[in-house]
Structure 1
Amino acid sequence: MQYGICNLGIVPMRFEPSDKSELVSQVLYGEFFKVLERRKKWSRIRIAYDKYEGWIDNKQYKEITEEDYNDNVISSPILSTDLLEYVSDENENIYTIPLGATLNGLHILNHKFDGNKIQKVLKKSNLIKTAFLYLNSPYLWGGKTPFGIDCSGFTQMVYRINGHKLKRDASQQASQGEALSFIEESEPGDLAFFDNVDGDIIHVGIIMEDNYIIHAHGKVRIDRLDHSGIYNVDTNLHTHKLRVIKKII
């Protein structure tokens, strides 16, 4: 088994080993992963944090030892908390990194970082404050950053920055936590999940106070939430059908 660390700010993870293939997620700076299969130009990896799998370009990561992988995977993650920051190498070359980048591997990459960071579990009440950092970020299928993010990437990163673990996809996240019977039972920070006509979970958002929800749809935006689903405040139409509300923490 081979192991790696992302040494660039934002690396695309694709469904197939091709630059033309669908973006399924992103690997952010400092994330650790196992290399499941290595080809001439591409590697299929499994991210340590959420076990998500996909293909990344061999030129866009650094191989590390099994010891370095194991030592850092078991440790509490240190995350960058600024929208945009940078790390620098021994030659003072600068690498930009996004909100939520992992800093545990700085010593492995021989990089320096002087920005704001966090390494603790925060209260549930802080989730909405973090969510607002992503407000108006454009929607991007597979995205995980303020420069482009999808609905489940948004919820995962908000929870992650606050020290709480969510899986990657909305359907996976819906398997976590405790189901609530009514919106009135929910608290700010709980998750609302939405399904399609086939009953598949296809969307997720973070519940706010007074029946509002913040979610990634076109952009990270705030809309109304009622028993039917999400009511778009711009179009005055329901856009998503409510399936279940989950209390994760």
Structure 2
Amino acid sequence: MSVAEAPDTLDRRRTGFDGETALEALRGQVDATRFVPGRAARVTVPETPLTRRTTGGADKALLFGEPVTVISESAGHAFVQSGWDGYVGYVTSDALGGAAETTHHLVARASHLYSEPHFKSRPLQTLSLGSALAGARIRDGFLETPDGFVPMQHVAERDVPKPILETALSLVDTPYLWAGNSAAGTDCSGLVQLAFRLAGHACPRDSDQQAAEIGVGLPEGAALQAEDVICWHGHVGLMLDADRLLHANIHHMAVAIEPLEAALKRISAYEYGEVTTIRRLA
């Protein structure tokens, strides 16, 4: 099974249509056998790949607690759409559980989900920065969730923004991982998306989408500043200031900081060519 090609007017990556079944909102836009409202669910494992086919490489990772809409299910796989960025694809059905409203996000680089509200209790799962939590109450310094307990030192309420560069800097030296967007591994656009999402800004998943949708484009020759997003064909990075670039890249195979001038020369000559646009939050 694979995701059907969407009409030219729709982005396949964000179109809830598996070739046979589509979300009701797409009626009249895709030629589906049936239309469904979808079923609300969430990810209940630390992270899981979202794939274009049931057997194939990942397009992105879904993190613990990420809300999804289940569009269809068959043979142990579910075709879903992420509630965070609209991305669609297949996940294994056992990675999903019942829906729950996100109340907090994990803002530490990593933490543990404990069986009891005590640091000596059994850890159930290791969670990544950016995981979503459904907290019922606080017990003995731990957030109680349907899945276990998380130390309050590691979480923040959903609507409390974390500065973009604070998130990005916390991931320096994280290994590069294609389609990754967690503390276990991330690619360039996954890093940017995670940093923007925890700051409260909507951000698409892929570099071409980010180059088109983040903030506004700067005119050629504009002075750079912190949080500007530099885009190439197939690559993005964040400015720490006017002279330093932070990005997940294959040259270092990690999230790294380097002088912008040196990065521009290398990327132009050996990797992605010239910069296509620079984006800034309006």
Instruction: Tell me, yes or no, if the aligned pair for 1:223 and 1:231 is still in contact at 8 Å.
Output: no
Distance 1:121 1:84, change over 3 A: closer
Of 136, 146, 159, the residue aligned with 2:196 is 159
SS at match of 1:82: coil
Q: Please name the residue that 1:242 is paired with.
A: 275
Q: CA RMSD in A?
A: 2.6
Q: Structure 2 counterpart of 1:100, which letter?
A: G
Q: Please name the residue that 2:113 is paired with.
A: 87
Task: Tell me which moved more, 153-162 or 178-187.
Answer: 178-187
Q: Please name the residue that 1:205 is paired with.
A: 237
TM-score by length of 1: 0.81
For residues 134 and 211 of structure 2, what CA distance do their matches in structure 1 show? 29
Q: Please name the residue that 1:191 is paired with.
A: 229
> Offset at 1:229?
6.7
Instruction: Tell me, yes or no, if the aligned pair for 1:223 and 1:230 is still in contact at 8 Å.
Output: no
1:63-78 superposed matches below 5 A: 63-64=98-99, 68=100, 72=101, 78=104
Distance 1:110 1:145, change over 3 A: closer
For residues 105 and 2 of structure 1, what CA distance do their matches in structure 2 show? 22
Distance 1:34 1:122, change over 3 A: closer
> Offset at 1:92?
5.0
Q: String of CA shifts for 1:219-245, please: whole Å, max 9, x gaps.
A: 11122335x97245xx99664421100
Instruction: Tell me, yes or no, if the aligned pair for 2:175 and 2:254 is still in contact at 8 Å.
Output: yes
> Offset at 1:138?
1.2
For residues 117 and 33 of structure 1, what CA distance do their matches in structure 2 show? 21
For residues 223 and 89 of structure 1, what CA distance do their matches in structure 2 show? 41
Instruction: Tell me, yes or no, if the aligned pair for 1:34 and 1:46 is still in contact at 8 Å.
Output: yes
Q: String of CA shifts for 1:105-164, please: whole Å, max 9, x gaps.
A: 6777342222421234548xx322221111111111110112210111000001112222
Identify unmatched segments of 5+ residues in structure 2.
Answer: 1-37, 137-143
SS at match of 1:175: helix
> Offset at 1:14?
1.5
SS at match of 1:209: coil
Q: Please name the residue that 1:224 is paired with.
A: 259
Work out the percentage of aligned pairs sharing the same amino acid. 22
Task: Tell whether 2:153 aligns with 1:102.
Answer: no
1:120-135 superposed matches below 5 A: 120-122=159-161, 126-135=163-172
1:171-182 superposed matches below 5 A: 171-176=208-213, 177-182=215-220
Identify unmatched segments of 5+ residues in structure 1.
Answer: 196-201
Q: Please name the residue that 1:199 is paired with.
A: none
Distance 1:231 1:130, change over 3 A: farther
For residues 40 and 61 of structure 1, what CA distance do their matches in structure 2 show? 14
Instruction: Tell me, yes or no, if the aligned pair for 1:214 and 1:220 is still in contact at 8 Å.
Output: yes
> Offset at 1:98?
0.5
Report the count of equivalent residues.
227
Instruction: Tell me, yes or no, if the aligned pair for 2:229 and 2:279 is still in contact at 8 Å.
Output: yes
